[in-house]
Amino acid sequence: AQSVAQPEDQVNVAEGNPLTVKCTYSVSGNPYLFWYVQYPNRGLQFLLKYITGDNLVKGSYGFEAEFNKSQTSFHLKKPSALVSDSALYFCAVRDIPFNDYKLSFGAGTTVTVRA
Amino acid sequence: DADVTQTPRNRITKTGKRIMLECSQTKGHDRMYWYRQDPGLGLQLIYYSFDVKDINKGEISDGYSVSRQAQAKFSLSLESAIPNQTALYFCATSEVTGELFFGEGSRLTVL
């Protein structure tokens, strides 16, 4: 079975500081990994994905994530956080080829960036 | 215009009423999904469809039904709404194994 864990419900950082949002996963096959961001009263917006290839993936709004197979992690990072990065972040995984239809989501991490 | 459009955006109804949430997309994707979001639980898959003739149950399909009227349209129905179906509902589309594209959500309150 596939699953995703986001161990931190909340992350608080000061503007200009590095931001990290943690994600670990469990799959039977190969993981396709995704990060989404949700602003208040909005739908989820795609940030980045790992399918194969380079372990460091770059995405929208200056975010990047590093796939670590040995630690089964896919942490989201931004070198210098902005107040506008304050939102709810979701990690998600597909278990290929066992569950190619289903994207399983973590519970979400609320990021607050203070000015 | 949004690529994935959901209507209504907000709905308040009473226990026992039938409710339909509608979704239409201009992405041209064959795969469509309905998810439910509850605080602290992430998103849970209700139903998914790979094409007009293909409908599949997700993790939490009890109390829900769907209809895929066309490639671009996928509606979710609650035949007899109950209070624990109060949630934020999202429609999404995707290519075969790619990322999901979400609508803006439909907030349903069942009194």
- pLDDT digits (tens), chain B, 111 positions: 669 999 999 999 999 999 999 999 999 999 999 999 998 888 999 999 999 999 999 989 999 999 999 999 999 999 999 999 999 999 999 987 678 999 999 999 999
Residue-level pLDDT at A52 = 86
Q: How far is A75 from chain B (nearest CA, A)?
A: 17
Q: Is the pLDDT of residue A100 over 70?
A: no
Beta-carbon separation of B97 and A45 below 8 A:
no
| Residue A102 at interface with chain B, using a CB cutoff of 8 Å | yes
- How confident is the model at residue A98, as a pLDDT? 66
Residue in B42, B99, B103 nearest the CB of A34: B99
Q: Across the interface, which of A51, A90, A102 has its CB nearest the CB of B45?
A: A102
The residue with greater pLDDT, A78 or A102, is: A78
Which residues have CB under 8 Å from B8's CB, separation 6+? B21, B106
Q: Does A5 touch chain B (CB under 8 A)?
A: no
Q: Closest Cα of chain A to B35: distance in Å? A: 10
Work out the number of other CB atoms within 10 angstroms of the CB of residue A94. Answer: 27
Place of tokens 């399983």: A104
b vs e for B43-61, b when ≥16 Cβ sit within 10 Å of the residue's Cβ?
A: bbbbbbbeeeeebeebeee
Chain B contacts to A (CB-CB under 8 A): 4, 31, 40-43, 45, 48, 50, 56, 58, 90, 94, 96-105
pLDDT recorded at residue B97: 66
Q: Quote the minimal CA–CA distance from A103 to chain B in Å.
A: 8
Instruction: Read off the pLDDT band of A64 (50, 70, 90).
Output: very high
Q: How far is B102 from chain A (nearest CA, A)?
A: 6
How would you classify the pairing of strands A3-5 and A99-105? unpaired
CB contact under 8 A, B43 and A34: no
- Written in H, E and C, the secondary structure of chain A is CCEEECCCCEEEEECCCCEEECCEEECCCEEEEEEEEECCCCCEEEEEEECCCCCEEECHHHCEEEEECCCCEEEEEECCCCHHHCEEEEEEEEEECCEEEEEEECCCEEEEEEC
Which of B56, B58, B102 lies nearest to residue A44, judging by beta carbons?
B102
Look at B43 and A43 and tell me if their CB atoms are within 8 Å: no
| pLDDT number for residue A39 | 92
B65 Cα to chain A: minimum distance (Å): 18
Q: Is residue A114 pLDDT above 80, yes or no?
A: yes
> What mean pLDDT comes out for the span A52-60?
92
At B53 the pLDDT is 92
Q: Are A21 and A37 in contact (CB under 8 A)?
A: no
Q: How confident is the model at residue A97 (pLDDT cuts 50, 70, 90)?
A: confident
A81 against A99, higher pLDDT: A81
Instruction: Give me the pLDDT at residue A101, please.
Output: 74
Q: Residue length, chain A?
A: 115
A68-96 average pLDDT score: 95
For position A24, what pLDDT does the model report?
Answer: 97
pLDDT of B16? 97
